[in-house]
């Protein structure tokens, strides 16, 4: 067992730890991890290739999200429903505790680099989602469509040879995804049980049993997941956004100073040591990458299920999802924290820091708000990742209800175990899973991206009433 744990730790550090350091003038350095080395240059490349999509086509992203959605095929998602499913998984515990960790380690300047990373990630999200839409296929079990990286990776590697049932890289991606989502299931229940114990003194066994029972009722029914998320995700997003807006209005006089602090500390202008700039930069970048998931290949599983008038449209929906996750929801957490007077949060970290910040703004009700928000974010994430798992399970094991049900039951068991105990190595397995997903996904989308650029030009050339 010790050998296994050492291997897990070694792989985790290889993917997420610092591979090398870049020295900075005046002392200090910036540590560069493998995934940062892959995702940031790729994101810049895609941003340039798409003609700075997140800025140039932002009005179009807003327009398509507001237009009437429709789908003709039974079981197919509309573009907006695919966005809701992906938002359910993007917006999770990381939007709360992850942002707290980034600010604690990197200071307010980390928020700026989180925003920059999101803008870069929008283009990556567009490319992978559009590829998923191009290479989707009918879903004989659930109806509608299915797809994702396992499918377009398979077709990329099979195109120049006899198409086999499996492609090695596609299989590795699908297995990594299933591993990741099982690990995430444990993190979800553990954070929920802890938050409810702190807020309401509810024993973990009680909150966990209720969480698992509700999840079981939803995920074991054929097409209930999307119906629940259709209601749940807008409610939770508006609820948390409303809380943040209230805090910002209440503390409007502090906002100019907070923005000044974010921008000054982003470039180390207020710090004496260059190391503070490196901490702000890398903590903001890593939090942005981990939160919006652009490039990991998870959101394309939802994009593939959408029925849209043009493949590029599915890509723009998912690009907008990155904006919602990081620029809006993560920023809500950041401002809730940064609008607390200095000294109030000294010595605190993680959920305790966020709960104290909420208590400052709302009194004891703030702790309750935190617990409710975390439950909504976490539960919707669990439902979303099991939706993602459908296509990957089908790719690996074929079209049968047995394999679909077995994976759901495994995830539910992990959800139950995680609520009662903390197994950090399982959490690391989840992080390893998403790291491997990213590597296998990027192997395919970089050489395949030319198709998505042509589709984007084709889409933007259409009159708006034909898009």
What's the pLDDT tens digit per position in 318-331? 999 999 888 888 88
Give the per-residue pLDDT at 273: 47
What pTM value is reported for the model?
0.91
Distance CA 36, CA 59 (A): 29
pLDDT digits (tens, 9 = 90+) for 338-364: 998 877 777 777 777 888 888 889 988
**DSSP structural state of residue 306:** B
Q: How far is CA 391 from CA 173, 350, 461, in A?
A: 12, 34, 32
- pLDDT class of 24 with cuts at 50, 70, 90: low
Burial of 413 (0-12, 13-18, 19+ CB in 10 A): middle
- pLDDT class of 270 with cuts at 50, 70, 90: low
Give the per-residue pLDDT at 176: 92
Phi, psi (5° rounding) for residue 146?
-145, 170
Give the per-residue pLDDT at 1: 64
Average pLDDT over every residue of 6-12: 83
Distance CA 391, CA 82 (A): 14
Give the Cβ contact number of residue 48 at 10 Å: 11
Give the Cβ contact number of residue 454 at 10 Å: 11
CA-closest candidate to residue 299, choices 286, 317, 326: 317
Distance CA 332, CA 245 (A): 8
Give the Cβ contact number of residue 150 at 10 Å: 36
Averaged pLDDT of the chain: 85
- pLDDT class of 274 with cuts at 50, 70, 90: very low
pLDDT digits (tens, 9 = 90+) for 79-120: 888 888 888 888 877 777 778 878 877 788 888 888 988 899
CA-closest candidate to residue 128, choices 287, 309, 322: 322
Q: Are 226 and 387 in contact (CB under 8 A)?
A: yes
Burial of 356 (0-12, 13-18, 19+ CB in 10 A): middle
**Strand 137-138 to strand 29-33: parallel, antiparallel, or no bridges (unpaired)?**
unpaired
CA-closest candidate to residue 267, choices 110, 98, 39: 110
- pLDDT class of 442 with cuts at 50, 70, 90: very high
Number of H helices and number of E strands within the chain?
A: 20, 4
Q: Which helix (H) or strand (E) holds 145?
A: strand 145-146
Token digits for 226? Answer: 């999307």
Give the per-residue pLDDT at 230: 85
Name 56's Cβ contacts closer than 8 Å, sequence gap at least 6: none
Token digits for 448? Answer: 């395949």
Burial of 264 (0-12, 13-18, 19+ CB in 10 A): middle
Distance CA 161, CA 151 (A): 16
Question: What number does CATH give the domain 21-459?
Answer: 1.20.1740
Average pLDDT over every residue of 56-76: 78
Distance CA 15, CA 94 (A): 18
pLDDT digits (tens, 9 = 90+) for 154-206: 988 876 554 577 888 999 999 999 988 888 888 888 888 888 887 788 898 99
Residue 360 pairs in a beta bridge with: none
- DSSP letters for 8-57: HHHHHHHHHSEEEEEE-TTS-EEEEEHHHHHHHHHHHHHHHHTTSHHHHT
121 has a pLDDT exceeding 70: yes
271 has a pLDDT exceeding 60: no
Q: Are 176 and 437 in contact (CB under 8 A)?
A: yes
- pLDDT class of 44 with cuts at 50, 70, 90: very high
Residue 40 pairs in a beta bridge with: none
Q: How far is CA 259 from CA 105, 227, 253, 262, 347, in A?
A: 18, 39, 11, 5, 23
**DSSP structural state of residue 155:** H
pLDDT digits (tens, 9 = 90+) for 276-320: 566 666 667 776 677 778 888 999 999 999 888 899 999 999 999
Give the per-residue pLDDT at 153: 94
Give the per-residue pLDDT at 292: 77
**Strand 29-33 to strand 145-146: parallel, antiparallel, or no bridges (unpaired)?**
unpaired
């Amino acid at each position: 067992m010790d050998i296994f744990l050492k291997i897990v730790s070694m792989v985790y550090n290889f993917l997420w730890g610092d591979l090398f350091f870049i020295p900075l003038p005046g002392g200090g350095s910036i540590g560069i991890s493998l995934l940062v080395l892959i995702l940031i240059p790729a994101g810049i490349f895609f941003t340039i290739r798409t003609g700075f999509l997140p800025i140039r086509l932002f009005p179009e992203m807003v327009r398509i999200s507001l237009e009437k959605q429709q789908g003709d095929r039974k079981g197919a998602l509309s573009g907006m429903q695919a966005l809701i499913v992906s938002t359910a998984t993007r917006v999770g515990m990381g939007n709360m505790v992850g942002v707290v960790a980034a600010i604690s380690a990197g200071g307010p300047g980390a928020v700026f680099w989180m925003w920059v990373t999101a803008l870069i990630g929008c283009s990556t999200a567009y490319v992978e989602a559009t590829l998923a839409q191009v290479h989707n296929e009918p879903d004989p079990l659930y109806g509608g469509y299915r797809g994702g990286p396992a499918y377009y990776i398979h077709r990329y590697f099979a195109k120049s040879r006899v198409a086999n049932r499996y492609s090695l890289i596609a299989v590795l991606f699908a297995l990594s995804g299933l591993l990741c989502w099982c690990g995430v299931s444990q993190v979800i229940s553990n954070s929920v049980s802890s938050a409810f114990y702190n807020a309401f003194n509810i024993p973990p066994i009680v909150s966990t049993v209720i969480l698992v029972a509700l999840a079981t009722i939803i995920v074991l029914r054929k097409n209930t997941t999307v119906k629940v998320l259709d209601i749940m995700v807008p409610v939770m997003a508006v609820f948390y956004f409303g809380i943040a807006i209230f805090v910002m209005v209440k503390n409007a006089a502090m906002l100019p100073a907070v923005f000044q602090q974010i921008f000054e500390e982003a470039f180390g202008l207020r710090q004496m040591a260059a190391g503070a700039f490196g901490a702000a930069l890398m903590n903001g970048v890593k939090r942005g990458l981990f939160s919006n998931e652009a490039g990991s290949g998870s959101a394309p599983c939802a994009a593939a299920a959408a029925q849209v008038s043009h493949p590029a449209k599915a890509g723009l929906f998912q690009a907008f999802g990155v904006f919602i996750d990081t620029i809006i929801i993560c920023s809500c957490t950041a401002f809730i924290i940064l609008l607390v007077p200095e000294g109030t949060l000294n010595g605190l970290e993680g959920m305790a820091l966020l709960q104290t910040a909420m208590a400052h703004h709302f009194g004891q009700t703030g702790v309750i708000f935190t617990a409710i928000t975390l439950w909504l974010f976490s539960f919707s994430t669990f439902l979303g990742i099991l939706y993602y798992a459908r296509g990957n399970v089908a790719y690996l094991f074929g079209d049968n209800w047995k394999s679909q049900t077995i994976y759901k039951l495994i995830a539910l068991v992990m959800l139950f175990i995680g609520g009662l105990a903390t197994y950090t190595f399982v959490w690391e397995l989840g992080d390893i899973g998403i790291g491997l997903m990213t590597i296998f996904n990027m192997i395919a989308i970089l050489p395949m991206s030319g198709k998505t650029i042509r589709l984007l030009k084709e889409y933007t050339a259409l009159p708006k009433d034909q898009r």
